[in-house]
Homo-oligomer: A and B are copies of this chain.
Amino acid sequence: MGLFKVSILGNGAAVPTARQHPSSQLLQHNRKKFMIDCGEGTQMQMQRFKFSYKNMAHVFISHLHGDHYLGLMGMISTFNLFSRQEDLHVYGPPELQDVLNLHLKVSDMHLKYELIFHELKEADLIYEDDRLEISCFPLKHRIPTWGFLFREKDKSERNLLKEFVEEFKPGLEQMYKIKQGADFITPAGVLMKNKEITYHPKPLSYAYCCDTVYDEELIPVIQDVDMLYHESTFDQKNEGIAADKFHATAAQAAALASKANVGKLLLGHFSARYKDRDVLLNEARPVFENTILSREGDTYQIG
């Protein structure tokens, strides 16, 4: 286990308002941060909610509708003005590289850091470190669009049971040894076997599906994830409009969450027409109870 959480920078659909911003999320896994989508104004949202770019070296762009990528060029410029030196990895549809290159050319910007572009062309593992894997998978939208799956690696290290820690309050060195497999002897001299006081931590996972039509082909891909962010642009009475525009309703997001047996469903990409988003929540919850409305600036623990 470790720190694994996602913060919502923008959860609005295409038309921004004073209240809702285009898509962007900041995912944190242990010390590393990852950005998912970067709509117009993302850098202002980062400032507004006082997030830092420290240890943020990877940006994943789902597709090239403006509300998912138009903040990227400004953020890249700002990094340059701040004399960033760390490499920046950008993952997205191939044409995104043309967009970035053209912006750098017309603004005559010479980056002080490496911008490394990774083309998304097929479902694939696109990032890996010793504790996390990130893969992309195709969504069905009007233009080529990618979902992203963040999955912790299975670790050999075990975690201490909370009840054991509370009762016996082991020291740091002792905790480290127990994680590695050591047994424990209580002050009263009783041997506690390692298996009695530890457990195998479940690797956690997060899936991002935005923008997409309702698509049951996603079920095996997102099966059992601990948290699913799925777009819910419309309510049920606009199901026809949703399908026409290759978007989904809140109830459809909930149906998918239920069929894929996910832990928690986070709704987002709300149409600006819903002043009160409870209409969306109220249509989703009967289908999948563990549903929450995402809120800009809020952070959600995964798992």
CA distance A78 to B15 in the complex (A): 6
CA distance A108 to B107 in the complex (A): 24
CA distance A47 to B247 in the complex (A): 25
CA distance A21 to B74 in the complex (A): 12
Contacts of A102 in B (CB 8 A): 95, 98-99, 102
CA distance A103 to B99 in the complex (A): 7
**Contacts A14-B81, A41-B41; is A106 near B21 (CB within 8 Å)?**
no
**Interface residue count for A (Cβ, 8 Å)?**
38
Number of copies: 2
Q: Which of A40-86 contact B (CB under 8 A)?
A: 40-41, 43-44, 47-48, 64-67, 70-71, 73-74, 77-78, 81-82
Q: Which residue of B lies closest to A78 (CB)?
A: B15
A66 near B74: Cβ-Cβ < 8 Å: yes
Which one of B17, B40, B99 lies within 8 Å of A41 (CB-CB)? B40
Residue of A14, A74, A82, A95 contacting most chain B CB atoms (<10 Å): A74
Interface string of A93-106 (1 = CB under 8 A from B): 10110110011011
Interface residues of A (CB under 8 A from B): 14-18, 21-22, 40-41, 43-44, 47-48, 64-67, 70-71, 73-74, 77-78, 81-82, 93, 95-96, 98-99, 102-103, 105-108, 142-143
